[in-house]
Amino acid sequence: MKLRKLVLLLAFLLLLVSCTPKESEKGSFKVSFEVAGGSLVTEQTIIDGEKAIEPDDPTRLTFIFDGWYTDLNYTTLFDFDTPITSSIRLYAKWSPDVELQIAYLDADAAAIQFPTTPITQSKLNLPIKGAVNESGITWTSSNTAVVNRHGIVFHPTMGENDVTVTLTAKLTYGLEQKFYDFEVVIPAKTEVTMDESVELPFTNLTSEFSVADATLTTYFADDGALPYVDFIEFLSILEGFLYFDDFEFTINGDIVTIYYQAEYDIKDGQGNVIGTETEDYYLTINFEDNTVTVDTLSFFEGYIYDTATDYGAGITYLETYYEEGVPVTMEFTPYRFDLVVHQDGLETKYLFPFHIANLLFTGGSYYNVYYNGNGYSGIYAFPDTDDPTGETEDGRAYNSIKVSSLNGTDVAPDVLVATYDMFVFTLDYFFGLKSQRGVETYYNVLSSTRDSYMTGKTRDLSNGIFNVVNKTLDDLHSSYHFPGYYEVPSFKLTLQTVAQVGPTVRSWYDVLFTVQDLFNTTYQQNSGTPPDYRFIDNNKTAIIFLDGFYTATVEDPDGNDSHRFMRETMDAIMLENRNVENIVVDLSYNTGGNLGALIRVLGFMTEQPIEMSYMNPTDKSNVTYFADVDTVAYTNVNWFFITSRVTFSAANLMTSIGQHMGFATIIGTKSGGGASSIIPVVLPDGTFFHMSSLNVLSYRVGNEVDGYEYFSIEDGITPDYILPVADTQNAAKIIEVINQAKSGN
């Protein structure tokens, strides 16, 4: 009986025990801590109803811990006596330790060091982080014309006063900011002194001129990367491109004069040589005044060899009418360039910054000498950036000049500033549209965007020059070719959208796209390309489609050639209908090309000597050439040109000549203009672009008794009869306008 009671008691106790909840079966919750930049606090697991353990205060440099809050707005302070009944996240609130943060800012500011003033270099190191506590630093300058926010130094020019500039650093640490001023003295530029010289190879990379490979002594200033050359030695190695032996050099102290004499044939109206005349050319270099003076800018054209490709084949130049201009003095001091008389041992050297010498003495042609940091290369026209395998001469030249030991590095500070200054110098003295645009100096034009690309970073410089050439100049005759040798060879900059060009060029493209759409609609069966020629109006009228002016080169004699095209096309037209009355040359999609090719094309239309005029807006000279073409002209037909806004450059000139000389009737809309030939330019960083030159195509009005007045054709030619762009491929509308013109209405 006792045993049974004991068993029942044990069973009852077991039952009681099984009805009491186990600690392990109670709920548990997470308490986590968001430290907001402070030191780590370990997450806690708390059993339901129990309290979280208040951790040690976290720490955060230069901040004071204000407690744990239940919300990010820090409205409710958490009480650690509160039982935990659900998971919760607590947020650390901080208040800045103002005194400590300011102390940190002061320490970082004190660590900023500048070279001993006055500052002679081209770039200051403006740190963007504090050296002690890594405060964030941004900079402003009291005189951005002298030092910009990136620390690029633009020294006052020689003869000006030194300038004191206040550079202000805004330091930020945590929530505190403080401004610190640093005064630096930027002295006026003084003449550079040469620190070293090296012999660098020169290699000719074009077959257009027979120039021998050579070496060129190259000089560098103290801690500089900008090359200087003795200009006489530079000219001497270019024999074959220029007639060096024709130069006479006279040296009188710091003044060097170059003289040469050019001889020209005098021809009668039939092209017969009836005598010769000579022209004397002088150039004076004053190394003391830092100037170059010429009586005429034609000085830089009369000493150049003919190219191997005969761009004047079949053309005889007759008499030339010339109006003298005024002397031009180029001043280098305002552009921070030095012409230096340097004593190299027992020899006196007359040094130019290399890129200035190259611009002046090769600028009258398409030939350039390209410096890439390792040597020099002679190149012609525009080396091909789309020929990676180097199958063409241009492609091989491009692949050669773009490989440099400086690829992928930041542009040297003195080269950076020289690139900007030479860019402005080139535009001020050699941009053909400067006067028309009413620009006094392009420093004023470029100053508003200068600091976006004058940062010291190569990529910024490349993008900046690309934008100026394509957008700021807003000129169809100005185009960017490739960035300099500090960039890796694979990096290229190309136009992708019309948003990258200026408003004038953009409006031209709008018409170009309209004409393309018209072609695509009208000539779907021919992939949107008009036929070389077609007949309309019962074969009384033939229309020739001419989209450019080309001359086959020595390297590619079977390449595009406009004279050959016209000869074959006219033969085909006459074979099909020898009694054709009207021939229309469709220039509505012609963007220009080679002037020699243009003159040969005009030889099919008139037996008159072709009259071509130029004006030079810098030296104010004017010239008119007369060219006889050895092609038999088709004078028994009526010639018409169809024009549009797309009709540009050489096509614009063809329009002007045809109208001015009276052998063609212009139908269409006003042509696109483009009066200047182009000049290729190489900047000190190696950037290559071209722009409108000072040879501004014109027409003249007047006579030899009363004199002549010259008018630029930059703004285009107004047609004799209007034919809207939409109707330029409409046979019925073309016939209608031709009949109107022939009736004289």
For 46-81, the pLDDT digits (tens) are 999 999 999 999 999 888 999 999 999 999 999 999
* 74 lies in the same domain as 105: no
* 84 lies in the same domain as 129: no
Residue 568, pLDDT above cutoff 50: yes
Q: Looking at 50, 80, 96, which one is the last position of a domain?
A: 96
In this structure, what DSSP letter does residue 246 have? G
pLDDT at 744: 81
> pLDDT tens digit string along 668-694?
999 999 999 999 999 999 999 999 999
What CATH number does the domain containing 40 carry? Answer: 2.60.40.4270
What CATH number does the domain containing 167 carry? Answer: 2.60.40
Q: How many Cβ atoms sit within 10 Å of the Cβ of residue 59?
A: 11
> pLDDT tens digit string along 269-316?
555 666 677 889 999 999 999 999 999 999 999 999 988 887 777 888
**Residue 472: inside a domain:** no
* 179 lies in the same domain as 137: yes
**Residue 104: inside a domain:** yes
pLDDT at 270: 57
- Helix H, strand E, coil C: the string for 356-391 is HHHHHHHCCCCEEEEECCCCEEEEECCCCCCCCCCC
Give the CA radius of gyration of the chain.
Answer: 38
Q: In what order do the strands lie in the sheet with 248-252?
A: 248-252, 255-267, 273-286, 291-294, 328-331
* 176 lies in the same domain as 127: yes
* 104 lies in the same domain as 178: yes
- Helix H, strand E, coil C: the string for 647-693 is CECHHHHHHHHHHHHCCEEEEECCCCECCEEEEEEECCCCCEEEEEE
**Residue 115: inside a domain:** yes
- Please give the share of the chain, as a percent, with pLDDT higher than 90: 83
Q: How many Cβ atoms sit within 10 Å of the Cβ of residue 431?
A: 26
**Cis status, amide bond into 557, omega within 30 of 0:** no
Distance from chain centroid for Cα 533? 38
Determine the angle formed by the axes of helices 595-602 and 562-576, rounding to 10 degrees.
Answer: 20
pLDDT at 267: 62
For the chain, what is the domain count?
2
Using CB atoms within 10 A of its CB, is residue 655 exposed (0-12), middle (13-18) or buried (19+)?
buried
> Among 121-125, 318-322, 425-429, 546-550, whose mean pLDDT is lowest?
318-322
- Please give the share of the chain, as a percent, with pLDDT higher than 70: 95
* 175 lies in the same domain as 110: yes
pLDDT at 725: 97
Q: What is the mean pLDDT of residues 513-526?
A: 95
* 92 lies in the same domain as 140: no
CA angle 220, 225, 231 (to 5 degrees): 45
Range of the domain at 68: 26-96
**Residue 667: inside a domain:** no
* 176 lies in the same domain as 119: yes
Residue 17, pLDDT above cutoff 50: no
* 91 lies in the same domain as 123: no
* 161 lies in the same domain as 142: yes
Q: Looking at 142, 168, 186, which one is the last position of a domain?
A: 186
**Residue 81: inside a domain:** yes
Residue 14, pLDDT above cutoff 70: no
> pLDDT tens digit string along 191-222?
899 989 999 999 999 999 999 999 999 999 98
**Residue 580: inside a domain:** no
pLDDT at 269: 57
Q: Find out whether 266 and 236 touch, Cβ atoms under 8 Å.
A: no
Q: What is the mean pLDDT of residues 604-630?
A: 94
Q: What is the mean pLDDT of residues 110-125?
A: 88
Residue 10, pLDDT above cutoff 60: no
Q: Residue written as tokens 């650093």? A: 169
How far CA 267 is from CA of 70, 316, 367, 595, in Å, comes to 101, 9, 29, 21
**Residue 117: inside a domain:** yes
How far CA 308 is from CA of 239, 245, 354, 551, 684, in Å, comes to 15, 20, 26, 12, 29
Please report which confidence band the pLDDT of residue 563 belongs to, taking 50, 70 and 90 as the band edges.
very high
pLDDT at 391: 85
Q: Looking at 96, 119, 154, which one is the last position of a domain?
A: 96
Residue 1, pLDDT above cutoff 80: no
pLDDT at 15: 32
**Residue 155: inside a domain:** yes
* 83 lies in the same domain as 111: no
* 104 lies in the same domain as 170: yes
Higher confidence at residue 344 or residue 24?
344
Q: Find out whether 358 and 366 touch, Cβ atoms under 8 Å.
A: no
pLDDT at 13: 32
